[in-house]
C-alpha cells in the first residue's frame, strides 16, 4: 500500500515540473497505474490525484490536457463518491469559463466521467448523486447561456447522460423537459437539433405524464404554426421521438397525422422533407396505429416522388431520339442541364424522403402487395429516369424492397402448398418487366457508377424473384453488361456487381436465349479471370463455370457450336488453375470451373486434357484443395462425354481410399460419392488391388454414430456388389458384422435402412458361397432367437424388430424359391408354445413385411394363428399380430378384407386390434384396390364412431380420414353431414378424421377440403370440451401442413381460437385425495392445444395475424399453468426474431411475468419433481429473456434495463443466464417446436 502511494506521490511531483515532457510522461504513468485493478488509493492520495488532474486540465500543453482527461475515466471507479462530486463540480464550472479550450476539454471530461459511472443497477448511490449534480448545473447552463457553443456542449452531455442513465434522473425529468422545450425555438438550428436528440433520449425513460406534456406541447405548437422554420423543427422533433419511442407516440397519432398531412401541402421543400421523414418513422415504429392512414400517406408519397418543378422531363424524351444520331449527345445534355441549374433547388430532398417513406411502407405491409403493383410499381418505374443520383438510388432501393416482398417464400411449408393466391403479384410483375427493362437499359451505359450498380442490383433481384422473366430482354441488357465489364473507369465493385448479376441471369434462364450473345459476352468475362484483384477473378470464374453449362448444356440436344469458344475459355482458366500463390477462394473456383469445362467440353480439348487432369491429381494431394477436387472428379466421372480418366486412376484411387480415414466428414461423404461413380463408369480400368485398398477402409465408416455416412458407404458397397461380384467374396466379415450391428440398432430408419435392404438383395444375387440366403438369415435373426435363452443379455429395441423384418422380406423377395419354407418356419415359431414373445413378434412382423408384397393365401393356417395371437398375454405380440393381419390383407384384399370386416363386426373384444389391422389395409392399399369395399368399410366404421373408448375412436377416425382420400368427392360430404350429429363422440371422431385427410404433400382432396374446412372449424365453438380440443388439433395440423387451407378463414377462426386460451373457472374442480385437496383443471388440455395452434400460426400465417391482439393472449399465457408457460416462453423467443418491433412496444407488460417466474422460490420441503419443474421453467424463461435481448434497441427500454441488471446482481439468476448463453446452440431460433 505504502509503495503505491509513494509511487503516486513521486508522479504527482513530476507533474508540477516546468518541462512539459515530464508532465506528459508522469500523467501517462499515472494513467497506467489507474488502469490496474489492484490499485487502492488512501484518502490523502485520492485528494492529491484529483486536485492535480483538475489542475492539469488547464495545462498550457494540449497533449498533457488530453492525457489528464483520459485519466478521469479510470479514476472515477477508484475514488470515493465525494471526490467524484468534486471532479464534476469543477468540470461543470469550467464549462462556463470564457476560455474555449478549457470548455472543450471539460466537456470531454464530463462525457468521460458519465461513460465510466457504474450503471444504476449495481446499487451504488454515487451515480444518482453525481448525475443529479451534473443535471442541475447543465439545465441551468442551457437555459441561461448566451454563448451557443456552451449550449451545444451542454446539450450533448445531457443527451449522453439521458441515453445511458435516463432512469436515474427520474426526479429531474420535468425540469429537463422545461429546459429543453424552449431550445426548440432557438435561433441556432444546431441547438434545435441537439435539443431534439436529447428529447429523443428523454422519452425512452420518462413517465407517462411527462410524455403527454411533451406531446401536448408539440401538438399545440404545430397547430399554432408561428413560422415555417419552427414548424419544421417541431415536425423533426415528432419524427425523432417516434424513432426513439414509437410505441409511446402511437396513441397520439390520430391527432398528429392530420397536421402533418396539412403541412405537406405548404410550398416549402424542407418542411415537406421533414413531413415525409416523420411519416417514415411512424410507418416503421407504429405499424398498428398508422394503418388507417396508409392510403393517404401513400398517395402523398406518390404525388411528391414525381415532384420536380424546375425540370422538364418531356423535353428529354424528344431529345433522346435526336441524340441517338448525334455523336456528342452527352455534351449537349450537359449544357441543357446548366440552363436549368438552380443551386437553390432542393426539391430532390422531397423526392428522396418520399421514396424512403414508400420503402418503409413496402417493407412493412406485405398484405398490400397487390395494391403496390397496381399503384406504386408503375410510378416507381416511371421515376427510374430521376436526374439526381442520390434520389435515384433510393427509388431503386424502394423497388428492390418491393421485389423482395414478392419473393415467394422458399420454405418446405410453402413449397408443397402452392396456392394460386400468391401468384397474383407475380403475374402483375411479369407484365411490368418490359417497362422496367426499358427504363433501365439506357442507364447501364451511363458514366455514373452508382446508378449502374443500382440498376444491376435491381435486375439481380428481379431475376431471382421471377426466374426466366428477362429471356426476351437479353439483347437489351448484354451491351450494358459488356460495357460495365470492359469500361476502364469501372471500379472493382462495379465489375463484381456486374459479374454477380450475370451469374444470376445465367442460372435463372434457358441456355438458348444466350447463344446469340456468347460472342460478345465471353471475351470480357475471360479478361476478368485475368484481373489482378482476387474477388473479381473469383466472381469471373463462377460466371465462366455457368457459361460453360450454357454454351453446351448436357441435359438436352443443342445446335449451338461450342468449339470456337474453347480456345477462349481454356487458357485463362488453366492459368488460374496452375497458380499456387493465389487466394484460396480463387483456387477452389478455378478447380470447379476447369472441372465444368472438362465435363461439358472435354471432347474438344484433345491434347490439353491429360496434362490438366495431372494438375487435378496434384490438387488432390493438397489438404486445402482436396475436397473441391474430389467434387470435381465426381462431376467429370459422371459426364456423358465419357472423359478418359484412366491415366490418373492408378495414382488417384489409393489417395481417395486414404481420405476415408480422415476426420473431415464432408470429405468422407464426397469421396464415397466419387468412388461410387468411378466404380460405375470406369469398372473396366480398376484393378482388384485398388478396390481392396478401399474395402479395408469401409468397416470403420459403418456405425450408428453417423447414419448418413453409413448410408452412403453401404450404397457404395451395393454398387460394388453389382459391378464386381468377385471382390465381394473378399468383403471381410468385419463389414458384414458392422452392417448387422446397424440393423439391430434402435436408430436405424429411412434412407440408411433402405440402403441396407438394397445391399442385402445385391449380396444374395452375387451367389457368393459364404453369404447365401440361409447364412444371412441366420445372422439377421440370431440375436432375437437367442434372446429367449438365459445367457442372452442383449435386449433389442422395438425398432430393431421392424428393421430385421424388412431385411428378411427383402431377402425373401430376392430368392422367391426360399419363401414357402421360411413362411412355414415363422408359422411354426408362432404356434410353438415355448417360443419367447420376441421370436413371435419377429415372426409376425416378417410375415407382415412379406405379405404386403406377396400373396400368402396358400398358407391356410395363417388366419387361425393370427386370431389366436390376438388373445396372447403379451401386448407386443398382439400388436405385431394385428400389424401382420393388416399387411397380409394388403397383399390379398379379396381373401382377407371381407374376413376382417366380418371379424370386426362379430368380435367386440378384439375390435381395437382388428381396427388397427384395417387401418394398415387402408393406409397401404392402392385406391383402386379398395374401391369395391369402400361402402362396407364405411358402414362398419360409422357403427363404431360413437364408441366410448377414446383409443378406439381415434383408430376409427384415422381409418375414416384415410378412406376419405380414396374417393373424396363422395365421402367428404358424408363426413360433413355427420357434424350435425347429436353425439359429441361422433362429432369428435369426424373432426379427427379430417385431421388425417390433411397431408403436407399436394393431394386431390385439397380443393374440396378448402371449400368445406370452414364448416369443420365451426366445431371450435362446440359446446363439448373434447370436440373443441380435437378441432384445435385438426386446425393445428392444417396450419402446419397446409396453411393455404385456412389462411383465408383466419379472420373468422381466430376469435374462437383466442377464446380457448382463456382460463375457465367453471372447469376447475377440487378433488379430495385422503387428507389432501388437489385442484384439477379440465380446461388445461384445450388451452394447451390452443396455444400450440397459435405457435404454428406464427410459422405459417404470420402475415395474417394482428400481432398486437396475438400478444395480448401470449401475455395471458405467461401467467398461466406450468405447461402453458413453457409454451408461451418459446413463442415469445420466436416472436422476438419474427416481429421485434411489436414485442418492443409491449415489452413492459411481457417482462413482468418473466421476472415473476425467474424469481420464484420453491417451498422448502417440496418434492424433487417440484424443484425440477421450477428449474425447467426458469431455464425456459431465461431463454426467452436471452431472445428478447437480441432485439435491436431493447437496451433502451427502462424495464428491460432494470430486469437485466436484476439478473446480473442475483448470483443464482446470473449463473443460469450465463449457462443459457453458453448453450447458444440451443437458442430459441433452432428450438422451433414440432407440433404436427
Identify the pLDDT of residue 792. 42
More confident residue, 1092 or 101: 1092
Give, as one character, the DSSP assignment of residue 409.
P
More confident residue, 731 or 272: 272
Instruction: Measure CA 1177 to chain center.
Output: 25
596 close to 545: Cβ distance less than 8 angstroms: yes
% of the chain beyond a pLDDT of 70: 92
Instruction: State pTM to two decimals.
Output: 0.76
Nearest alpha carbon to residue 312 among 345, 340, 353, 335: 340
Q: How confident is the model at residue 1008 (pLDDT cuts 50, 70, 90)?
A: confident
- Give mean pLDDT, residues 1213-1235: 62
Q: At 921, which helix (H) or strand (E)? A: helix 911-924
Identify the pLDDT of residue 725. 78
Written as one string, the DSSP assignment of 469-523 is TTGGGHHHHHHHHHHHHH-TT--HHHHHHHHHHHHHHHHHS-GGGGGGGHHHHHH
Identify the pLDDT of residue 785. 77
Give, as one character, the DSSP assignment of residue 372.
I
What is the Rg, in whole angstroms, of the alpha carbon atoms belonging to the chain? 39
Instruction: Measure CA 550 to chain center.
Output: 32
* Model confidence at 320: pLDDT above 80: no
Identify the pLDDT of residue 315. 54
Q: How confident is the model at residue 998 (pLDDT cuts 50, 70, 90)?
A: confident
pLDDT digits over 1171-1180, tens only?
888 888 888 8
**Picking from 83-92, 318-327, 641-650, which range would have the lowest pLDDT averaged per residue?**
318-327
Report residue 963 as a C-alpha cell: 378412406
1117 close to 1135: Cβ distance less than 8 angstroms: no
Give the separation between CA 990 and CA 959, rounded to whole angstroms: 11
* Model confidence at 248: pLDDT above 60: yes
Nearest alpha carbon to residue 1135 among 1229, 1058, 1046, 1040: 1229
* Model confidence at 326: pLDDT above 70: no
SS3 378: helix
Q: How confident is the model at residue 322 (pLDDT cuts 50, 70, 90)?
A: very low
Please state, rounded to an integer, the average pLDDT across all residues of the chain.
81
Give the separation between CA 359 and CA 305, rounded to whole angstroms: 12
Helix then strand then coil, % of the chain, to nearest 5: 80, 0, 20
% of the chain beyond a pLDDT of 90: 10
Identify the pLDDT of residue 136. 78
Task: Characterise 856 by phi-psi region: left (phi > 0), alpha (psi -120 to 50), beta (else).
Answer: alpha
Identify the pLDDT of residue 353. 94
Give the separation between CA 381 and CA 433, rounded to whole angstroms: 10
- Give mean pLDDT, residues 1076-1100: 85
Identify the pLDDT of residue 156. 85
pLDDT digits over 47-79, tens only?
888 888 888 888 888 888 888 888 888 887 777
177 close to 211: Cβ distance less than 8 angstroms: no
Identify the pLDDT of residue 123. 54
- Give mean pLDDT, residues 941-965: 81
* Model confidence at 105: pLDDT above 90: no
Nearest alpha carbon to residue 702 among 662, 761, 744, 742: 742
Phi, then psi, of 999 in degrees rounded to 5: -120, 160
* Model confidence at 418: pLDDT above 50: no
Q: How confident is the model at residue 503 (pLDDT cuts 50, 70, 90)?
A: very high
Taking each helix axis as running N to C, give the angle between helix 563-578 and helix 609-621, from 0 to 180 degrees, rounded to the nearest 10: 30
Give the separation between CA 723 and CA 730, rounded to whole angstroms: 14
For CA atoms 813, 844, 996, 855, give the dihedral sign: positive
155's CB contacts (< 8 A; 6+ apart) are: 142, 183, 191, 194, 195, 197, 198
pLDDT digits over 328-358, tens only?
433 433 434 444 445 667 889 999 999 999 9
231's CB contacts (< 8 A; 6+ apart) are: 221, 222, 225, 263, 271
**Picking from 273-282, 509-518, 656-665, 679-688, which range would have the lowest pLDDT averaged per residue?**
679-688
* Model confidence at 553: pLDDT above 70: yes
Amino acid at each position: 500500500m505504502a509503495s503505491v502511494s509513494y509511487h503516486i506521490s513521486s508522479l504527482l511531483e513530476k507533474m508540477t515540473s516546468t518541462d512539459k515532457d515530464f508532465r506528459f510522461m508522469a500523467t501517462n504513468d499515472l494513467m497506467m497505474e489507474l488502469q490496474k485493478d489492484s490499485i487502492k488509493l488512501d484518502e490523502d492520495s485520492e485528494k492529491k490525484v484529483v486536485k492535480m488532474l483538475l489542475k492539469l486540465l488547464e495545462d498550457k500543453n494540449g497533449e498533457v490536457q488530453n492525457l489528464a482527461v483520459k485519466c478521469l475515466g479510470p479514476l472515477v471507479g477508484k475514488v470515493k463518491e465525494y471526490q467524484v462530486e468534486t471532479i464534476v463540480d469543477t468540470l461543470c464550472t469550467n464549462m462556463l469559463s470564457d476560455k474555449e479550450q478549457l470548455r472543450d476539454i471539460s466537456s470531454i471530461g464530463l462525457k468521460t466521467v458519465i461513460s465510466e459511472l457504474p450503471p444504476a443497477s449495481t446499487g451504488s448511490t454515487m451515480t444518482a448523486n453525481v448525475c443529479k449534480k451534473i443535471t442541475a448545473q447543465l439545465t441551468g447552463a442551457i437555459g441561461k447561456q448566451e454563448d451557443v457553443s456552451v449550449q451545444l456542449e451542454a446539450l450533448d452531455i445531457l443527451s449522453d447522460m439521458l441515453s445511458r442513465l435516463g432512469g436515474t434522473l427520474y426526479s429531474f425529468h420535468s425540469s429537463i423537459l422545461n429546459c429543453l422545450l424552449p431550445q426548440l425555438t432557438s435561433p441556432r438550428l444546431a441547438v434545435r437539433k441537439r435539443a431534439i436528440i436529447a428529447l429523443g433520449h428523454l422519452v425512452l425513460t420518462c413517465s407517462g405524464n411527462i410524455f403527454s406534456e411533451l406531446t401536448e406541447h408539440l401538438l399545440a405548437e404545430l397547430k399554432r404554426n408561428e413560422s415555417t422554420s419552427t414548424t419544421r423543427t417541431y415536425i423533426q422533433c415528432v419524427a425523432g421521438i417516434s424513432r426513439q419511442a414509437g410505441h409511446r407516440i402511437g396513441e397520439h397519432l390520430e391527432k398528429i397525422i392530420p397536421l402533418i398531412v396539412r403541412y405537406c401541402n405548404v410550398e416549402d421543400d424542407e418542411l415537406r422533407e421533414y413531413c415525409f421523414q416523420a411519416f417514415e418513422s411512424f410507418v416503421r415504429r407504429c405499424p398498428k396505429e398508422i394503418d388507417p392512414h396508409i392510403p393517404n400517406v401513400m398517395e402523398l408519397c406518390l404525388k411528391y416522388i414525381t415532384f420536380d418543378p424546375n425540370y422538364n422531363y418531356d423535353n428529354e424524351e424528344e431529345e433522346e431520339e435526336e441524340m441517338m444520331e448525334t455523336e456528342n449527345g452527352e455534351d449537349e445534355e450537359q449544357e441543357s442541364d446548366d440552363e436549368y441549374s438552380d443551386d437553390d433547388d432542393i426539391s430532390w430532398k422531397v423526392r428522396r424522403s418520399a421514396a424512403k417513406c414508400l420503402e418503409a411502407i413496402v417493407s412493412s405491409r406485405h398484405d398490400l402487395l397487390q395494391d403496390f403493383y397496381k399503384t406504386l410499381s408503375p410510378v416507381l418505374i416511371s421515376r427510374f429516369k430521376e436526374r439526381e443520383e442520390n434520389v435515384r438510388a433510393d427509388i431503386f432501393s424502394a423497388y428492390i424492397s418491393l421485389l423482395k416482398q414478392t419473393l415467394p417464400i422458399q420454405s418446405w411449408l410453402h413449397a408443397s402448398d402452392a396456392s394460386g393466391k400468391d401468384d397474383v403479384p407475380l403475374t402483375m410483375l411479369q407484365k411490368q418487366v418490359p417497362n422496367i427493362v426499358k427504363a433501365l437499359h439506357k442507364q447501364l451505359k451511363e458514366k455514373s457508377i452508382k446508378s449502374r450498380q443500382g440498376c444491376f442490383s435491381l435486375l439481380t433481384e428481379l431475376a431471382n424473384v421471377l426466374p426466366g422473366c428477362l429471356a426476351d430482354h437479353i439483347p437489351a441488357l448484354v451491351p450494358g453488361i459488356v460495357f460495365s465489364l470492359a469500361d476502364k473507369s469501372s471500379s472493382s465493385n462495379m465489375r463484381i456487381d456486374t459479374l454477380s448479376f450475370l451469374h444470376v441471369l445465367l442460372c435463372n434462364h434457358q441456355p438458348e436465349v444466350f447463344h446469340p450473345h456468347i460472342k460478345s459476352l465471353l471475351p470480357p468475362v475471360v479478361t476478368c479471370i485475368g484481373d489482378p484483384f482476387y474477388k473479381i477473378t473469383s466472381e469471373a470464374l463462377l460466371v465462366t463455370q455457368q457459361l460453360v453449362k450454357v454454351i453446351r448444356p448436357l441435359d438436352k440436344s443443342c445446335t449451338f457450336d461450342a468449339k470456337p469458344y474453347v480456345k477462349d475459355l481454356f487458357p485463362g482458366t488453366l492459368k488460374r488453375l496452375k497458380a499456387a500463390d493465389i487466394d484460396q477462394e480463387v483456387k477452389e473456383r478455378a478447380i470447379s470451373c476447369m472441372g465444368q469445362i472438362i465435363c461439358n467440353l472435354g471432347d474438344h480439348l484433345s491434347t490439353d486434357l491429360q496434362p490438366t487432369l495431372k494438375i487435378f491429381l496434384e490438387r488432390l494431394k493438397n489438404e486445402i484443395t482436396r475436397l473441391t477436387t474430389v467434387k470435381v472428379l465426381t462431376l467429370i466421372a459422371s459426364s456423358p462425354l465419357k472423359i478418359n480418366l484412366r491415366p490418373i486412376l492408378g495414382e488417384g484411387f489409393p489417395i481417395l481410399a486414404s481420405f476415408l480415414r480422415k476426420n473431415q466428414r464432408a470429405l468422407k461423404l464426397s469421396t464415397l460419392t466419387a468412388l461410387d461413380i468411378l466404380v460405375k463408369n470406369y469398372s473396366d480400368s480398376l484393378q482388384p488391388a485398388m478396390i481392396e485398398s478401399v474395402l479395408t477402409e469401409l468397416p470403420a465408416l459403418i456405425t450408428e454414430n453417423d447414419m448418413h455416412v453409413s448410408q452412403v458407404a453401404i450404397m457404395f458397397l451395393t454398387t460394388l456388389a453389382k459391378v464386381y461380384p468377385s471382390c465381394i467374396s473378399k468383403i471381410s466379415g468385419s463389414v458384414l458384422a458392422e452392417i448387422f450391428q446397424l440393423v439391430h440398432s434402435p436408430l436405424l430408419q429411412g434412407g440408411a435402412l433402405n440402403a441396407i435392404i438394397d445391399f442385402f438383395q445385391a449380396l444374395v444375387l452375387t451367389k457368393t458361397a459364404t453369404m447365401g440366403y440361409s447364412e444371412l438369415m441366420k445372422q439377421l435373426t440370431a440375436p432375437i432367437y437367442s434372446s429367449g435363452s438365459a445367457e442372452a443379455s442383449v435386449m433389442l429395441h422395438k425398432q430393431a424388430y421392424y428393421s430385421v423384418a424388412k431385411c428378411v422380406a427383402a431377402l425373401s423377395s430376392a430368392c422367391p424359391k426360399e419363401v414357402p419354407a421360411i413362411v412355414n418356419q415363422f408359422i411354426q415359431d408362432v404356434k410353438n408354445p415355448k417360443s419367447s414373445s420376441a421370436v413371435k413378434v419377429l415372426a409376425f412382423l416378417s410375415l407382415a413385411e412379406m405379405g404386403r408384397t406377396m400373396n400368402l393365401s396358400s398358407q391356410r393356417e395363417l388366419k387361425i394363428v393370427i386370431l389366436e395371437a390376438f388373445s396372447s398375454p403379451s401386448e407386443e405380440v398382439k400388436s405385431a399380430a394385428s400389424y401382420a393381419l393388416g399387411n397380409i390383407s394388403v397383399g390379398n384384399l379379396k381373401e382377407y378384407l371381407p374376413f376382417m370386416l366380418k371379424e370386426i363386426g362379430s368380435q367386440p373384444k378384439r375390435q381395437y386390434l382388428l381396427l388397427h389391422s384395417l387401418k394398415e389395409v387402408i393406409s397401404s392399399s392402392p385406391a383402386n384396390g379398395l374401391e369395391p369395399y369402400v361402402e362396407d368399410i364405411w358402414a362398419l366404421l360409422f357403427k363404431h364412431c360413437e364408441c366410448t373408448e377414446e383409443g378406439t375412436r381415434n383408430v376409427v377416425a384415422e381409418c375414416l380420414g384415410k378412406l376419405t382420400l380414396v374417393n373424396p368427392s363422395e365421402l367428404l360430404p358424408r363426413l360433413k353431414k355427420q357434424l350435425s350429429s347429436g353425439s359429441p363422440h361422433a362429432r369428435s371422431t369426424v373432426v379427427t378424421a379430417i385431421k388425417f385427410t390433411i397431408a403436407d404433400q399436394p393431394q386431390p382432396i385439397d380443393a374440396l377440403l378448402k371449400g368445406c374446412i370452414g364448416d369443420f372449424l365451426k366445431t371450435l365453438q362446440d359446446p363439448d370440451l373434447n370436440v373443441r380440443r380435437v378441432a384445435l388439433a385438426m386446425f393445428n395440423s392444417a396450419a402446419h401442413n397446409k396453411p393455404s387451407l385456412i389462411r383465408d378463414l383466419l379472420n373468422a377462426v381466430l376469435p374462437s381460437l383466442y377464446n380457448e386460451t382463456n382460463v375457465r373457472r367453471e372447469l376447475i374442480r377440487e378433488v379430495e385425495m385422503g387428507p389432501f385437496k388437489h385442484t384439477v383443471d379440465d380446461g388445461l388440455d384445450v388451452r394447451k392445444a390452443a396455444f400450440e395452434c397459435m405457435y404454428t400460426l406464427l410459422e405459417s400465417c404470420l402475415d395474417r395475424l394482428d400481432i398486437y391482439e396475438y400478444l395480448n393472449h401470449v401475455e395471458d399465457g405467461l401467467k398461466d399453468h406450468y405447461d402453458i408457460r413453457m409454451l408461451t416462453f418459446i413463442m415469445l423467443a420466436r416472436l422476438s426474431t419474427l416481429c421485434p418491433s411489436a414485442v418492443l412496444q409491449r415489452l413492459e407488460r411481457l417482462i413482468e411475468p418473466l421476472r415473476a417466474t425467474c424469481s420464484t422460490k420453491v417451498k422448502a420441503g417440496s418434492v424433487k419433481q417440484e424443484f425440477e419443474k421450477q428449474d425447467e421453467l426458469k431455464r425456459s424463461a431465461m431463454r426467452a429473456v436471452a431472445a428478447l435481448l437480441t432485439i435491436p434497441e431493447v437496451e433502451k427500454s427502462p424495464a428491460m434495463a432494470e430486469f437485466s441488471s436484476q439478473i446480473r446482481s442475483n448470483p443464482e439468476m446470473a449463473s443460469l443466464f450465463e449457462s443459457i448463453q453458453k448453450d447458444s446452440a440451443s437458442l430459441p431460433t433452432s428450438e422451433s417446436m414440432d407440433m404436427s
